[in-house]
């Protein structure tokens, strides 16, 4: 049960504004999905997430299979009831986590065999097992199990991983049993344009509910990412959602929206928030730096979140220096609010047909270390 309605398109970019319908509600696109890896967004409650405007949460199959385990989800009726969240949930298949376990896993055609970090037991995660787990978790959107490798790997290794990803995708599709749960395929191919084209052409022949662009932000540069995203998004069906996996600085999002991507996720807003870094309308702020100890001003004067309207930079600095958990919590709420506000602004700009100029203005306001020189909305060579 998944449907994407395109409500508006931008006149000078490929940006599009839509509405995604799932079994647990509707999400407006472009949408940034908040990462709650272990069925929780660190330090925040579901009410907090609603306050910051979160629409879709992302949980991770690999972590949830190890703790609390599939039987608990079957007993309680899925992740929504377990964590008290009634909105849409997307589950990653576990492929990236397997990739990161180079010393403790073996990959074969059957799947990935790895050692649990919880109890040191060995597990086999196959495409069929991944779908079984995601079905029990109760995700509204499931991902096929894919083979992740460094994006800068040579063409031979990249092709082998891509072709296995294709075979695993078809096995994942065959294993799907619940019609209310959508299944997305993942376009791979590293930084090789011909492989990206081949992957998109193969996967779009099959009845997946949406398509993701995977295998980026693992060794590539921003320019390389932008080129791959632009190529891949153009090759995906216009009537199905397009999801860029795990790529998520504000400039990354602005460029990808211009390329026609609908959905995003990234751990940066909360991960960096817990480290004392805030995303603001004028770039990143490291709140633990000494000058902020006496900065009696809002974190971001342009932001209307609870952190910015009630607390000063000096107070936030104080919380971090004292090791008080309220500091990371307030920065996480601000960062997530900032990302959702960016998405709302993008949707409004697309509706007004001014996304190119709006996004360029957003980047102009961000510190130089936050982005490269290329502006979103630039015409690709074939469009000039």
47 in catalytic set: no
Report, in angstroms and rounded to the nearest whole number, the Rg of the chain calculated over CA atoms.
20
Does residue 369 surpass a pLDDT of 80? no
Nearest to 290 by CA among 314, 319, 325: 314
* pLDDT given for residue 219 in this prediction: 86
pLDDT tens readout for residues 193-218: 999 999 999 999 999 999 999 999 88
- Percentage above 70 pLDDT, the chain: 95
Model pLDDT, residue 355? 98
**Confidence band (pLDDT; 50, 70, 90) for 98?**
confident
217, with CB counted inside 10 A (0-12, 13-18, 19+), is middle
* Secondary structure letter of residue 312 according to DSSP: B
Range of lowest pLDDT (7-21, 99-113, 224-238, 369-383): 369-383
Say which range, 3-12, 29-38, 89-98, 177-186, has the weakest mean pLDDT.
Answer: 89-98
Look up the pTM and report it: 0.94
- Confidence at residue 368, expressed as pLDDT on a 0 to 100 scale: 58
Question: What pLDDT sits at residue 97?
Answer: 77
Q: Report helix, strand or coil for 20.
A: strand
- Res 373 pLDDT > 50: no
Highest mean pLDDT: which of 111-115, 336-340, 380-384?
A: 336-340
CA distance 94 to 62: 5
Residue 296: active-site member: no
Q: In which residue are the tokens 């294709």 written?
A: 166
Of 286, 271, 288, 282, the closest CA to residue 323 belongs to 288
pLDDT exceeds 80 at position 372 = no
Find, among 148, 65, 69, the residue nearest to 105 by Cα. Answer: 148
Average pLDDT, the chain: 93
Instruction: List Cβ neighbours of 148 (8 Å cut-off, separation of 6 or more).
Output: 95, 96, 98, 99, 161, 214, 215, 218
Q: What is the pLDDT, as a whole number, of residue 376?
A: 42
pLDDT at 384: 24
**What pLDDT shows up at residue 95?**
76
Least reliable range by pLDDT among 223-227, 237-241, 369-373: 369-373
| Active-site pick, 92, 220, 252, 262 | 92
Work out the average pLDDT over 349-361: 97
Nearest to 347, CA basis, from 257, 282, 266 = 257
Q: Is the pLDDT of residue 298 over 70?
A: yes
Of 140, 220, 265, 300, the catalytic one is: 265
Query: For 101-156, what is each residue's pLDDT tens digit?
Result: 766 788 999 999 988 889 989 999 999 999 999 999 999 999 999 999 889 899 99
* Phi, psi of 91, deg, nearest 5: -115, 130
Q: Domain 18-266 classified CATH 3.20.20.105? A: yes
> Which pLDDT value is given to residue 134?
98
On whether the CB atoms of residues 185 and 149 are closer than 8 A, the answer is no
What is the phi/psi pair of residue 135, to 5°?
A: -65, -45
Q: Taking the domains of the chain in order of start, what are their residue ranges?
A: 18-266
């Amino acid at each position: 049960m998944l449907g994407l309605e395109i409500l508006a398109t931008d006149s000078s970019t490929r940006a599009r504004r839509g509405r995604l319908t799932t079994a647990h509600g509707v999400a407006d696109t472009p949408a940034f999905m908040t990462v709650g890896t272990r069925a929780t967004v660190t330090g925040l409650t579901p009410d907090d997430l609603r306050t910051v405007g979160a629409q879709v949460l992302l949980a991770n199959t690999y972590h949830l299979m190890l703790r609390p385990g599939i039987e608990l989800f079957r007993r309680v009726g899925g992740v929504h009831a377990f964590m008290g969240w009634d909105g849409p949930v997307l589950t990653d298949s576990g492929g990236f986590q397997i990739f990161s376990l180079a010393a403790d896993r073996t990959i074969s055609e059957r799947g990935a065999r790895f050692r649990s970090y919880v109890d040191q037991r060995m597990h086999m995660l196959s495409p069929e097992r991944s779908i079984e787990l995601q079905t029990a978790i109760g995700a509204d959107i499931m991902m096929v199990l894919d083979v992740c490798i460094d994006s800068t790997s040579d063409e031979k290794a990249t092709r082998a991983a891509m072709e296995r990803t294709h075979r695993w995708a078809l096995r994942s599709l065959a294993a799907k049993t619940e019609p209310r749960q959508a299944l997305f395929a993942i376009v791979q191919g590293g930084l090789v344009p011909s492989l990206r084209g081949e992957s998109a052409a193969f996967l779009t022949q099959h009845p997946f509910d949406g398509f993701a662009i995977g295998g980026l932000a693992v060794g590539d540069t921003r320019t390389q990412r932008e080129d791959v995203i632009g190529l891949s998004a153009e090759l995906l069906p216009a009537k199905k959602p397009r999801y860029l996996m795990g790529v998520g600085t504000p400039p990354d999002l602005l460029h990808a929206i211009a390329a026609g991507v609908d959905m995003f996720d990234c751990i940066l807003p909360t991960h960096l928030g817990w480290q004392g870094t805030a995303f603001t309308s004028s770039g990143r702020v490291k709140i633990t730096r000494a000058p902020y100890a006496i900065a009696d001003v809002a974190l971001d004067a342009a932001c209307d979140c609870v952190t910015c309207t009630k607390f000063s930079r000096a107070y936030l600095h104080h919380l971090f220096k004292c090791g008080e958990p309220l500091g990371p919590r307030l920065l996480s709420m601000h960062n997530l609010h900032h990302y959702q506000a960016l998405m709302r602004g993008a949707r409004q700009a697309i509706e007004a047909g001014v996304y190119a100029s709006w996004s360029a203005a957003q980047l102009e306001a961000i510190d130089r270390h936050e982005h490269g020189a290329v502006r979103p909305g630039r015409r690709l060579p074939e469009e000039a």
